[in-house]
Amino acid sequence: MEAVSIGSGSSPFRDFVRARVERVLASWEAAGAQAGGPPGKAALRRFLKALDELAEATDALLPEQRSVEQPSAEPAARPYVLLVIEEPGLAQDLQAGLEPEHEVERISTPERAAQSVAARTPDVVVASGSGAPETARRIRELLHGLPAVVAAPDPELAPLAVEFAGEPVVLLRGAADAKELGLAIRTMLALSRQTGASGTANVPVPSELIGEPRSYAHLAGLLPRSLEHTIEFDVGAAVVARPGSEPLVDVHATSDFGEETLRVVRARALALFRIVAGEPWTEDDIATATARSPLRSSLHVPLAIEGRIVGLTYLAALRPGAFTADDRRLLATLATNASVAYRRLEGASNRLRLTPRQSQVLALIASGLSDKQIAARLGLAHRTVRTHLDRFLREHGLHSRTEAIAAWLRSQER
């Protein structure tokens, strides 16, 4: 068959289309296809002419960056590509073709992919092999709208096309090679850059949390309520770690949900926190974080202090593609402010505001005495001892005798 070129010049999209067409032509030639007959050739020429026009139109939308790039004082961050590929040789070849221009992480199972995405959001995910459909579905439950390239077996393509309609996902038939996957990755990154550049707006960034949190519970309550008027979401949850105790989880819905959905949101936020924070987690946590639900979009950002993950804010919506790059920036800003507030709370808990009598009561509680024994030791009524303890808990945002002891012991270490 005579050679046919597709357009002129080069762009990620055009290269990707060219590679796909060349693959089709090669398969026809190898099979001695009847497409080489006169009717088949005429139809193929019309098809290739249409592809020429499509490539030219796409190049107009995605101009070559090298012709307009200006020198930058700071080097651009390398795109982060997550490869979830079962075949080691293919993963190695693809990684070699992407580095050093891209930061590449290689993972071989859907479970590990979900854990990795929960900890850090990639610019694009590539899934290939028999587990590719499961990988795509798990990751979509964590982050809807994440650009992805999925090479899946033929029987899976039709249902995947329906499931991912309207989302930035390229579906490839069968076993794609490293060159084809690389072209698809560059195409997705170019589209993402174009969308991000045109969709970035000057939106207000909250410089401070609304009010000053009085306790860890109050901080959890402020997140995500403080974003209710700047990001459109249907339900959100905040997880805040408490020293010496289980994390606090606060769920806030802006739409009507049943108790079961709210329970799922709470469990998902807590599972994401455990995974991101590097705490001991199980396959049940991964299953919870990626379980199906009526929510079609989600976004989460951790709270961090000096390398420690101390919390997490999770937002979700019923509609697909609900969150934008600006929303992610807003949530990241909120997380930074919340981390500062957490640090102040942590410092305050180590500098307890104690009356002399409260200090006596806490010291005796820490020594293992009951309220009745403390009352006898200090010559107080049993109810008075309880009043001192309750007031201390209320003033410091604590919720149990165990938390009170932990806070008092930390204060004694300083």
Least confident range from 80-89, 108-117, 343-352: namely: 343-352
Look at the chain and report how many structural domains it folds into.
4
Last-in-domain residue among 141, 168, 197: 197
pLDDT at 316: 92
What does the pLDDT read at residue 279? 74
- The CATH number covering residue 363 comes to 1.10.10.10
CATH number at residue 131: 3.40.50.2300
Q: Can you tell me the mean pLDDT for 195-205?
A: 44
Same domain, 248 and 367: no
DSSP summary character for residue 305: E
pTM: 0.47
Q: Which has the higher per-residue pLDDT, 111 or 198?
A: 111
Give me the percent of the chain exceeding a pLDDT of 70: 71
Exposed/middle/buried for 242, CB within 10 Å: 0-12, 13-18, 19+? buried
Question: Taking 90 as the threshold, does the pLDDT of residue 393 lie above it?
Answer: no
369 and 343 in a single domain? The answer is no
Quick check: 85 pLDDT over 60?
yes
DSSP string, 217-271: HHHHHHHHHTTTTTS--SEEEEEEEETTEEEEEEEEESS---HHHHHHHHHHHHH
Cβ-contact 98, 185 below 8 angstroms: yes
Amino acid 163: pLDDT: 76
Q: Report yes or no on 205 lying in a domain.
A: no
Q: Is 288 inside any structural domain?
A: yes
Minimum mean pLDDT range among 198-207, 225-234, 303-312, 353-362: 198-207
Residue 58: its pLDDT value, please?
57
Structure tokens at 278: 């590097």
Q: Cα separation of 317 and 227, whole Å?
A: 14
393 or 243, which is more confident: 393
For residue 373, the enclosing domain spans: 356-413
Q: Is residue 72 part of a domain?
A: no
In a domain, 40, yes or no: yes
Computed over every residue of the chain, the mean pLDDT equals 76
Same domain as 336, residue 238: yes
The torsion angles phi and psi of 55, rounded to 5 degrees, stand at -65, -40
Q: Are residues 360 and 342 in the same domain?
A: no
In a domain, 391, yes or no: yes
| 84-98, 102-116, 393-407: least confident range | 393-407
* Shared domain check, 227 and 272: yes
Residue 203 in domain: no
Asked if residue 144 and residue 88 are part of one domain, the reply reads yes
- Above 90 in pLDDT, residue 13? no
- End-of-domain residue from the set 197, 225, 248: 197
The share of the chain scoring above pLDDT 90, in percent, equals 12
Q: Which of 40-49, 132-141, 359-368 has the lowest mean pLDDT?
A: 40-49
136-177 tens-digit pLDDT? 888 877 676 788 899 888 788 777 877 776 678 888 877 778
**Residue 70, in any domain of the structure:** no
If asked whether residues 115 and 165 sit together in one domain, one would say: yes
Judge if 148 and 244 occupy the same domain: no
Show which of 348, 367, 384 is a domain's final residue.
348
pLDDT digits over 238-287, tens only? Answer: 999 877 678 899 999 998 888 888 998 999 899 888 888 777 767 777 77
Q: Give the pLDDT score at 315.
A: 93
- For residue 304, pLDDT over 50 is answered with yes
In a domain, 210, yes or no: no
More confident residue, 118 or 223: 223
Q: Diameter of the chain by CA atoms?
A: 108
Q: Which strands form 245-253's sheet, in the order they lie side by side?
A: 245-253, 235-242, 308-317, 297-305
Q: Return the minimum-mean-pLDDT range out of 32-46, 288-302, 310-324, 396-410.
A: 32-46
Task: Answer yes or no: do 90 and 150 share one domain.
Answer: yes
Give the sign of the dihedral formed by CA 118, CA 120, CA 122, CA 127.
negative
CATH number of the domain encompassing residue 290: 3.30.450.40
CA 239 centroid distance within chain: 15
The residue ranking higher by pLDDT, 293 or 20, is 293
- Sign of torsion over alpha carbons 259, 265, 269, 272: positive
Domain co-membership, 162 together with 263? no
Same domain, 157 and 268: no
Q: What local confidence, expressed as pLDDT, does residue 115 receive?
A: 79
Are 255 and 327 part of one and the same domain? yes
